[in-house]
A and B are shown apart, each in its own frame.
Chain A
C-alpha cells in the first residue's frame, strides 16, 4: 500500500466497503512477524543510542582506546555460522521434506551459545590483562555493549529453546515454520548489529 497516497484520500467522499471480503492488515505478514520487525527497530534505537553515546564519550580527553582481543574474530565466525544455519533451517521449512531440519536448527542455537561463551572468554581475558570495567570508559562501553548484545541473543535463545522442545517432541515442521522464520530474522538482525558493533570497536 502506498502510505502517502492513503493519507491524502478524503475519507468522507468514498462510502462503502473498501477492500476484499475479509478484514485485511496493512502488511501481508504474520502478526508476529510485524511485531518482531517493529521490535527490531526499537532494539536498533537502543543500540544506536549506545553508539551515539560511545562517539560522544570518545571525544572526552580521558578516553584510552581498547585493543580488542583477537578472539573476537573467531567469535564473529561462530555467529556468522550460527546465522547461516538458521537460514538453512528456514530454507528447509519452505521445502516439502524436513531433512536436516533438526541439525540446522539445533546447530544454529548451539553455535550461538558458543558465541556467548566466547564473548565471556574475552571478558575474562580483559580482566586478566587488568582492563576492568571502571579502568576506562572504552572498557566500560566494551563490557556494556557486548553484554547488551549477548543479552539480546539470550532472549533469542529462550525462544529458540522453546521451539527446539516443540521440534523434539515431534511437531510437524510446517507448524514450526513461523517460529523458525522469526528466529532466523532475529539472528540475522543480531548478526548485523554485531558487525556494526565490531566495526565500531575495531576502528576506535
Chain B
C-alpha cells in the first residue's frame, strides 16, 4: 500500500470524520488517496481558513482537528492557525506536503523549510524521512495534540515518500519516552489546597481555558458550589462555569467586570485552574492581587510560577484535580458562613458597577445591544465564534454562555479573521447546533473567502458583522491613549457586504433598526444555509470597563 493510503487508514483509526484542506503539487499523492478513502474532506479557499476551521472543529467538539496543505506557500499560509492553536492550546494536526527528498535544501519550486518555520509555534513536529515511519508519526501526532496541554502538531511529508509503497501494519501504541504528561495531581498538594481554601476568608476561583480543554466544567461547578466560592473565568474559560449564576462574577481582566477584578484585587486566596496569568488578566504584574496567596492547578508545569509565584502548585488537569479537591475540601468541614462578609463586599461591587451602556433613544443599534439581541434571538443556546476586537469583548461581556465549548475565539494570539472559518469548522463538527459568528467589519474581510466554502457545502453558519466602519479597538486606543489622532482605522463602508454575500451564493441581509433587531435576527437564523448579516452599529462606541494596559485592576476606567 502507498504511504498515503496508510495515512488515510491512520486517520480513520483515530476517528477522524472530517478534514479541511487545499491540494497542491507536493500533496497530490495525498489527494489521490482521498478519492477512495471515505473521509469527508472540505475544500477551503485559503489554507488559513482551513487551519482555523480545524481549530473551530476541535474547540467545538473536543476532538482533534485536521488540516491539510501543500508545500511552500500552502504551508506558510498555515502559520497563523498553527500559532493560534499553540497560544490557545487547541488540538490540531496539520499535515503538509513537502518537495521531493532529492530537492530538499535546493530552493526547489514551492519549497519552504516548513519544519524550521513552524518550530517555535508547534507543540511538536515530525519530518518524515522514511515512508515506513508515517503511520507511527501520525498516531504520535494525534496523541501529542490531544493529551496533556493540547496543541498543534505538524507532520511534513515529502512528495516522493508519500507515494512510496510500504508494508502497513496498524500501530497500536506510541513510543514517546520523553513525553509523559501528568494529569492526576499530587494528593498531598491537593489536600494542602483544600486546607488553604478552608482557611480563606476572601477566596476567588479563577478558571481558564484549561478547564474547557480538560472537560472539567462539571467538576468546576461541583467544586465551586461545594461552598460559596466566587468564580470568574478568563476569556478562554467562558462557559466553563455557567452564566448567569449566583456565584458568577463575570469575566476578569482588561475588559472584565469590576466585581471580578476587584475581587481578585482584594482576595486572600486565589485558586487558579487551567489559567496562565496572562498580561490581559494581571495588568501591572507587581500590583496584581497583592493580598493573595495562590493555588495554581495546571497540566503544564511550565505555566506554574511562570508569571506569578505559586504557593501551592498542582500539576494535573482540571478534571482530575478538581474532582479530588472537592472531596478533600468537603472533608475539611469549613464553615460557609465565614464567606458572608466577602459576599457582602462582592454584592456591593455588583450593584454599584453592573455592566452597562447608554442605549440609543432612536433606532440606532448600540453594539452592546446587538449582542443582547443575539442572545435573545438564539435563546443563549448557540455556539458563538468571534474575531478579535471590540465586538469580541462585547460578545464576551453580554452573551451569557451556559456551557463550555459554546464560545470559540482567538484569545492568545488575537487573530483577526478567525471567527468565520472557525464557525465553519464548528458547524461541521456540531451539525445539530446553531453556530453564529460575531465578526467585525475589519476582521471578517480577512477570511471572507470561506463564504464560498460554506455555500458550496451548505454549511449553515450565521455571520453577524458588527459594522462600525472602523478597526474599532485600534480606534478606541487611538482615542483614549493617542490623543484622538486616528491613523488608518477608518474602513469606510466597503465592501457592500450584502452584495458580497450574494456573490458568494450566501444570503445577505442588512440591519439598521434597533426596534426590529431581535425579530430580524430570528429571521436570519431561520433562513436555510449560510447567512451574512451586516449590522450597522454606532460608529464610535468604546468598550468598557477597561484596565488600561500595564495598569493595576484598581485603575479600571469606564
Partners in one complex: no
Residues on A lying within 8 angstroms of B by beta carbon are: none
Residues on B lying within 8 angstroms of A by beta carbon are: none
